[in-house]
Amino acid sequence: MEIAVLISIIVSIAVSATPLLLAATGELVVERSGVLNLGVEGMMIMGAVAGFSVAQATGNPHWGAFGAVIVGALFSQLFAFLVLTLVTNQVATGLALTILGLGLSGMIGEGFVGQPGIKLENFNIPILSDLPVIGPLLFSLDAIFYASIALVLAVWWFLFRTKTGLMVRGVGDSHSSAHALGIPVIRVRYLAIAFGGACAGLAGAHLSLVQVPQWTEGMTSGRGWIALALVVFASWRPGRVLIGAYLFGAVTIAQFHAQASGVPIPPQFLASLPYLATIIVLVLIARNRRLTMMNTPAALGQPFVPDR
C-alpha cells in the first residue's frame, strides 16, 4: 500500500517533468549551436494546439503527437529565418515568436475550448511492465515519456560522442572559427533550431494529450520559460537537464499535494512555488561563475554574418 502511493507520486512527477525535459533538451541543442531561442513557450503552445487538433481530426493521439512535432519544427523556422538570414536580435525575435504563438494558438484553438480531448494511453511494455515496483514505475507510461528519456540519452551521445555533435558545439563556441574550417554555420543552426522546435512541439503535445487531455488557452502557463531556465540550471549538460526537470516536476507535484491535503497556506502561494524555485535556482547557478563560464556556449546570442 505504502509502496503503491509512492509509485503513484513518482509517476506523477515523471508526467509533470516530461514536457519540461523535452523542451529543455531541444533548447539545449539550440543554445549549444550558439542561438538563444526565447520562443520556447510559443512553440510549445503551438505544439499543444496542433497535437490536440490533429488527434481530434484523426481520432489517433499518436498522430496528434506527430503533428505537434512537425508544427513545432515549422514554427521555429520563422524564428530561424529572422535571426539567421536577417540577423535580427535573438532576444526580441524569440519574444516575438512567443507572442505570435500564444495569439495564433488561441485563435486556432477557439473552437476546441471545453471539448473533451483524446488521451494518449499509457503503453505497457510487455513482460517488463509486469515486474513488481519498477514495472509500473518505469515501463507502463505514455510513449512521449519514453521518447523524452531516449531523447536525452541520444542528445548526450550526439553532442559529446559524435563528430557532428562536436561540429554543433564548435559552431556554438566560435562561429568564425567554425566558418573558417568550412563548417556550414548557418545550416547547422537552422537544423538545431528546427530540432528545438520539434522537441518543444512534442512537449506541448504531452500537455494537451497526456497531462490534461483538453485544450485551454495559454495552457503552457510558463513551462516554456521554465525549460529555458532549466538549460541554464543544467549548465548546458543533458544529464543535468534530466535531473533539473525531475526536481521541478517534484516541486510541482509537492505543491499539488500540499493544496489537496489542506495545508493552511493560500493556494496562490503554493502555485507560485515552481516560479519562485526557478528564480532561486537561477541565482544559485549564476553565483557559481566558474561553472557558468566553463560551459556557456561562447557565441551564444551573438549575430553571425558570413564573409565572402
Partner 1 sequence: MKLVLEKRVTSSTLLALTSPFIALALTLVAGAIMFAMLGKPPIASLITYFVDPLTDPWSREQIIVKATPLILIAVGLSVCFRSGNWNIGAEGQYLMGGLFGAMLPVMLHGWTSPLLLPLAIIFGMAGGALYAFIPAVLKARFGTNEILSSLMLVYIAQQVVDWVVRGPWRNPQGMGFPGTKTFTDNAILPPLWANADAHYGTVFAIIAAIVVWFALARTLKGFEITVLGQSPKAGRFAGFSAAKMTIFAFLVSGALAGLAGISEVSGSVEKLDDKLSLGYGFSAIIVAFLGRLNPLGIIAAGLILALSFIGGENAQIMMGVSDRAARVFQGLLLFFVLACDTLIHYRIKWVAQPRSVSKQSHRPHTPSTSSSDQQKEGSITAMGRGSGMSMN
Residues that bind partner 1 (CB under 8 A): 38, 78, 82, 85-89, 91-93, 95-97, 99-104, 106-107, 110, 173-177, 179-182, 221-222, 225-226, 228-229, 232, 266, 268-269, 271-272, 275-276, 278-279, 282-283, 286-287, 289, 292-294, 298-299, 302-305, 307-308
Q: Are 189 and 84 in contact (CB under 8 A)?
A: yes
Residue with Cβ nearer partner 1 (212 or 298)? 298
Cell digits of residue 290: 566558474
Q: Minimum distance from CB of 261 to partner 1 (Å)?
A: 19
C-beta closer to partner 1: residue 114 or 182: 182
Distance between CA atoms of residues 135 and 118, nearest Å: 25
Shortest separation between residue 75's beta carbon and partner 1, angstroms: 11
The answer to whether the beta carbons of residues 172 and 31 sit under 8 Å apart is yes
Cβ proximity to partner 1, 147 vs 208, nearer residue: 208
Residue 133 CB, shortest distance to partner 1, in Å, is 36
Q: How far is the CB of 267 from partner 1 (least distance, A)?
A: 8
Q: What is the rounded distance in angstroms from the CA atom of residue 45 to the CA atom of residue 43? A: 6
C-beta closer to partner 1: residue 73 or 232: 232
Cα gap 222→243, rounded to integer Å: 19
Q: For residues 42 and 67, which CB has a smaller minimum distance to partner 1 in the complex? A: 42
- For 293, the enclosing helix (H) or strand (E) is helix 289-295
Nearer to partner 1, 53 or 142 (CB): 53
**CB-based contact 71:55 (threshold 8 Å):** no
Cell 541520444 belongs to: 154
Q: How far is the CB of 226 from partner 1 (least distance, A)?
A: 8
Residue 68 C-beta: closest distance to partner 1, Å: 19
Non-local CB neighbours of 199 within 8 Å, separated by 6+ positions = 22, 23, 25, 26, 27, 29, 72, 151
Do residues 303 and 87 make contact, with C-beta atoms less than 8 angstroms apart?
A: yes
Cβ atoms of 302 and 34 closer than 8 Å: yes
